[in-house]
Structure 1
Amino acid sequence: MARTEYYDDPDAPKPNSLVVAASAVVTDAQGRILLQRRRDNGLWALPGGGMEMDDSLPGTAVREVKEETGLDVEITGLVGTYTDPRHVIAYSDGEVRRQFNVCFTARITGGELNISDESMELRFIAPDELEALPMHHTQQLRIRHFLERRREPYLG
């Protein structure tokens, strides 16, 4: 299923769903950030996805990292909340979502890196290499907030 992201676009379709989601900034021992190149739009992104009815937000982040990367992680902190109504995601099946995303930090506790059906590629990326990657600016914002080592989480 294809995915198109809009931001502050007057021609964007109107949302027909609101999805609660979690993502995670997972780093390795060298401080590189784990990113996936999404199959649905070709852009690089943090691992993450929608919360299920029987899950918590931290549990969603842990589950999504495992499903999308093969790695087991534990949540270590909070980067922030991302709820900007100007960010709209349209899917080829007709869903047009507004997303409520909570972005966590996490550390690897096990597992093996494996590409899922949702990804074309997985890589640990050094912070100084991030700008060269095609990435939606909402993902860049989460990573920038993580790299700023804020004392308080971003609330937006």
Structure 2
Amino acid sequence: MASYRFGERVSRDGKLMLSTSVVIFDESHTHVLLTRRSDNGRWCLPGGHMEAGESVIEACARETREETGLRIHVARLIGVYSNPHMLLSYADGNQFHMVNLCFEGIVTEGMPSLSDETTEIGYFTPQEIEHMDIVEPHRERITDAMASNQTPMIR
């Protein structure tokens, strides 16, 4: 199970890890696709760790396909996130300072489906998302994506 710890420069306790996440809007551009994680029951954007030998675009597309069954076109960079005051910890003792590249993805093929990493999947409005148990750093990414700013955020 993954959990976050927050504190002054707490990320110094972890290894550096590159990850991607994706914001997928519905056709009306008013709802965002979220998945419920099977490991901790929390809602999140599709995404995950980049593997050696992949580009960030390939990692984003792979993680999205693995978690949702959807094939996507990566349309734009929403932002780069590297909060030094947040540490991702796993039950096995591994800890990471995450650097995340969040993209907007456009579905090119498939219908949302569950995987061994997800127990629920759906599109939600910003108002619904406010009241959901969402993995902490994903709220900021969703807010940035909804702002429709064409200049990527660097946080």
TM bucket normalised to smaller:
over 0.9
Structure 1 unmatched runs, 5+: none
Which runs of structure 2 are paired with 1:67-146 in the superposition (5 Å)?
67-146=66-145
- Contact 1:13/1:90 (<8 A) preserved: no
CA distance in 2, matches of 1:136, 1:8: 17
* Deviations, residues 4-46 of structure 1 (Å, cap 9, x unaligned): 1122378x68633211011100112132111011122221110
1:148 corresponds to: 147
- Contact 2:35/2:122 (<8 A) preserved: yes
Secondary structure of residue in 2 paired with 1:41: coil
% identical aligned pairs:
31
1:61 corresponds to: 60
Provide TM-score, normalisation by structure 1. Answer: 0.92
CA distance in 2, matches of 1:106, 1:150: 15
Shift of 1:67: 0.3
- Contact 1:28/1:108 (<8 A) preserved: no
Provide TM-score, normalisation by structure 2. Answer: 0.92
Relative distance call for 1:118 and 1:80 in structure 2 (3 A) is same
* Deviations, residues 38-95 of structure 1 (Å, cap 9, x unaligned): 1222211100011111111111111100000000000111110001111111101110
Cα RMSD, aligned residues only = 1.7
CA distance in 2, matches of 1:13, 1:128: 31
Shift of 1:112: 2.5
2:51 corresponds to: 52
Secondary structure of residue in 1 paired with 2:84: coil
Relative distance call for 1:9 and 1:35 in structure 2 (3 A) is farther
Structure 2 unmatched runs, 5+: none
The equivalent position to 1:29 in structure 2, one of 27, 30, 40, is: 27
The equivalent position to 2:17 in structure 1, one of 8, 19, 33, is: 19
Secondary structure of residue in 2 paired with 1:80: strand
* Deviations, residues 101-137 of structure 1 (Å, cap 9, x unaligned): 0000010000222111111211111222110111133
Relative distance call for 1:94 and 1:79 in structure 2 (3 A) is same
